[in-house]
Structure 1
Amino acid sequence: MVVALCAASPAFAVEPIKIARDDVALDLSRAFDLYPNQGENFQVSTAPGPDGIVRRIEVEAKDSRSSGDWAVFALANTTDQQLDRLIVAPHFRLVNSGIFWPDLGATRIAAITPSEGFALDRQTSPDADVFRVTLNPGTVVT
């Protein structure tokens, strides 16, 4: 999934994070590749799907004034059942928020665009960016 944090250089395929039926929560903070200042459009190679094919997708920023900070990660549903999960980015975190000019309370994720399926729905939350993702059995989504 491609996350528009605030979007025309190519990026390389990422290694998917395997999601199991029993996983309650996973920390994805070290599972994504960050591409700062890439402009309004961004191209990325997807993680290989079950067929082993790596595809290219291009995403456009929600806002033309965006500096184009992009984060890329992939999720793999290794089960034979459809999985619904929430991707959560808390607004109020001091770690890496800046000592002199912290951005506490700021939105972290503007949108999430998956390599397949529908755009993710933002869930209502006053203190976090929350998106619901549905992973079909055996799929890999960047």
Structure 2
Amino acid sequence: MTNFPHSAGTARPYVWAPDQSPAYWNVATYGRVLADGSETDGRSCTFEELCPQGLVAPPHVHDKEEEAFFVLDGDFVFTVGDEEIPAGPGSDILCPSSVRDSTGSRVPDAPPIRQKPPATCSARRHLSSSCKGDQST
């Protein structure tokens, strides 16, 4: 990781090189941390996931944080509340806090970037723990 001179506030600019980013396998999904709450003063965390076809994140609710996705490649279906939203490359999806959501991949090895602002839990903890349905964070 490359750090830059300290700026206003306590968060510092940084760069994770691809070979330096922490990476994890979780429920058949490969994830790589791009930014963690510890680097952003808890303002956001960002990670990349490589999702196999047919993988579904079970319905769950985040009580305190929004969840945002940017699809780099592949074909996904997001369920936000009662609405199913198809999303292909270039799609940006926001799942508001306190709203049930789930995600499913239709295309093999489709890598979205998922961002969870604010980072009330760390990306490392999220990627290294098992996913459970109906969980609240």
The normalised TM-score by structure 1 is: 0.35
Q: Which one has a larger percent helix, Structure 1 or Structure 2?
A: 2
